[in-house]
Amino acid sequence: MNLELENYLKVFFKTENLINENILIACSGGADSMALLHIIINLQILPKEKIICLHFNHNWSKDSDKAENIVEKFCENNQINFQSEKADQIGQTSEALARSKRYKFFFAAARFNKFSKIFTAHHQDDQVETFFMRLLRGSGGLGIQGINERKYFQELELIRPLLNINKKELIDYCKAHQINYYQDASNLDKKIKRNLIRLELIPLIEKVQPNYKNQISNFVNIMQAQQEFVRDSLHLLITNNTANLQNCNYFNSQSICLQRELLKYLLLNLQIPISFELIEKLRNIINIKSKTKVSLNKIFSFQSDGKGFGFIQAPEIEAENNLELEKIEKTLICKLPTDLEENKIYELENWKIKVKKITKNLDELQNNFDFLNKNEIYVDLSDFENTDLIWRKRLPGDIFRPLNCKYQVKLKKYLIDKKFTNKNTWLLAINETNEILWIPKLEISEKIKVKTSSTHCFQIQDINF
């Protein structure tokens, strides 16, 4: 199986056009990631200078350093660039928080090293566990489709080449090649839901269906293809039939699947929490052409008159938003280049944003800039010298081109994907357009990133009025 596993990875690199890429490899020190690291090095597909191994030490216990030492020693023996970071907090944290800290480090390392691809060692067992976790949580088709082999997350592409390989094969590989790896005692803690599924539920399923891993992997692959078809169909529906989208007869002529997806799309655009029960309730109202009004939250209601349907914003909220935006437009326009030739401070409710005219070349920024500090960013505004920029809040139809992204996306969808919950955040936009250039404390647009040297620096200071 060792040779088969190596050949499998070799074919993966070739078919996925990754032969000449610079890659990061996330390595926890466990058998799966140590096997992945060893195989990639052993195949000699990439020069060693194109590989960087990343390790995040969660600092959960005294043994956490053992895992880091294993990975560091392996990299040292194989002349691989090793970079690590250690969490400040000592002790176990939630799985979600641990993942957030780990990926924050990965993003920073990718930016610092100018790498855009990271390999992780998620395998078939992980896919199965994720499937059951999402199924029991009540996820729809999008969630049940499981872990994707390749996926963009912010400006970083995550690549998981081992999703068709099971855990035992990776452990056997490590034993065959005498690779030292770390066995995490926390994987036996049944208080963690994923561990409980692995240790209690899955052994029962294996008794009923010994081939369950392959069966579930096949099902996940089918769901991924179906979800891709559904996404494409929804996109065509939205782009080609905008005028009829909220017509009851037109809605009812669509398949049940597209009806649900369209309602989900509309609700998420308004940042209204979705559930199967809510979507079915609204779908039934439209299907029977009932004249009904349903309150969804303090801001929005759903209304149908039997001919058409829509989402209605509370009048007092709408009036308040309009008043607020009028005030912003009168007071917070900054004209380039005059307003930004010298240092200037903008007071935006609980923030002060200081804009400094400063020139730093790209190499200097990369060597000294703290990429995790979202309160200070450097930008290149040279393309906007005769453009009015404006500080304002979100408007319907806003668009944004994320850093290192080749295309624009709807701002609302981008913020939902990022789980960015501050609906009233201030934005830097091009005046009288729907184009956003900066989401403070989150991301800058590709259009103002530093290519050769910066023109300005934005600094955010949290204040209380």
**How much is the average pLDDT of 228-250?**
82
Count CA within 13 A, CB hemisphere, residue 298. Answer: 2
Q: Is the pLDDT of residue 107 over 70?
A: yes
Whether the per-residue pLDDT at 160 is higher than 80: the answer is yes
pLDDT at 412 over 60: yes
Contacts of 275 (CB under 8 A, 6+ apart): none
Average pLDDT, integer, range 154-169: 89
What are the extents of the domains in the chain? 2-214, 241-313, 332-462
Distance CA 136, CA 274 (A): 17
Contact 455, 384 (CB under 8 A): no
- In the numeric block, the tokens 């081992």 are attached to 162
Question: Within a 10 A sphere around the Cβ of 132, how many other Cβ atoms?
Answer: 18
Q: What is the pLDDT of residues 17-53, one digit of tens each?
A: 898 899 999 999 999 999 999 999 998 889 999 999 9
Question: Under a CB-based contact definition with an 8 Å cutoff, are residues 422 and 348 in contact?
Answer: no
pLDDT confidence of residue 3: 67
Which are the contacts of 262, defined by CB distance < 8 A and separation ≥ 6?
234, 237, 238, 245, 251, 254
Counting Cα atoms < 13 Å in the Cβ hemisphere of 46 gives: 24
Listed ranges 45-49, 75-79, 327-331; the one with the highest mean pLDDT: 75-79
Q: Report whether pLDDT(181) > 70.
A: yes
> What is the arrangement of strands in the sheet containing 291-295, beginning at the earlier edge strand?
291-295, 300-305, 309-313
The band of 320, judged by pLDDT with boundaries at 50, 70 and 90, is very low
CATH number of the domain located at residue range(s) 2-214 in this protein? 3.40.50.620
Select the more confidently predicted residue: 465 or 231: 231
Residue 329 has pLDDT above 50, yes or no: no
What pLDDT does 444 receive? 86
Least confident segment among 247-251, 349-353, 448-452: 349-353
CA angle, corner 51, sides to 110 and 117, nearest 5? 40
Grade residue 319 by pLDDT with cuts at 50, 70 and 90. Answer: very low
Q: What is the mean pLDDT of residues 2-30?
A: 90
Which of residues 76 and 394 earns the better pLDDT score? 76
Q: What is the mean pLDDT of residues 342-363?
A: 67
Alpha-carbon torsion, ordered 311, 312, 314, 317, to 10 deg: 70
Measured CA to CA in angstroms, residue 346 lies from 45, 332, 351, 459 at distances of 52, 8, 8, 10
**Which of 71-85, 89-103, 275-289 shows the highest mean pLDDT?**
71-85
Backbone angles phi, psi at 78, to 5 degrees: -110, 10
- The answer to whether 187 and 195 have CB atoms below 8 angstroms apart is yes
Nearest alpha-carbon partner for 274 in 182, 117, 118, 140: 140
Residue 60 confidence (pLDDT): 81
Q: Is 109 helix (H, G, I), strand (E, B) or coil?
A: helix
Q: Please tell me the predicted confidence (pLDDT) of residue 465.
A: 30
pLDDT at 186 (0 to 100): 78
pLDDT at 294 over 70: yes
pLDDT tier for residue 343 given thresholds of 50, 70 and 90 = low
- Report the pLDDT averaged over residues 204-232: 88
For the record, the structure tokens of 24 come out as: 């990061």
Residue listed under structure tokens 């319907």: 396
Secondary structure element (H or E) that encloses residue 261, with its range: helix 256-269
What DSSP line would sit under 111-160, residue for residue? HHHT--EEE---BHHHHHHHHHHHHHHT--HHHHT---SEEEETTEEEE-
Look over the chain and give the mean of its residue pLDDT values, rounded to a whole number: 81
Mean pLDDT for the stretch of residues 446-454: 80
The tokens of 294 are what? 């349903």
pLDDT digits (tens, 9 = 90+) for 109-140: 998 898 989 999 999 999 999 888 888 877 77
Task: Report yes or no: 54 and 48 within 8 Å, Cβ to Cβ.
Answer: no
pLDDT band of residue 332 (cuts 50, 70, 90) is very low
Lowest average pLDDT, out of 89-103, 159-173, 229-243, 370-384, goes to 370-384
Q: Cβ distance 131 to 146 under 8 Å? A: yes
**Cβ 121 vs Cβ 5: under 8 Å:** no
The pLDDT confidence band at residue 219, using thresholds 50, 70 and 90, is confident
120 CB-near residues (< 8 Å, 6+ apart):
26, 33, 158, 159, 160
**What does the pLDDT average to over 278-303?**
86
Residue 363: its pLDDT value, please? 60
Amino acid sitting at position 159: I
Closest CA to 389 of 443, 426, 358: 426
Residue 2, pLDDT score:
63
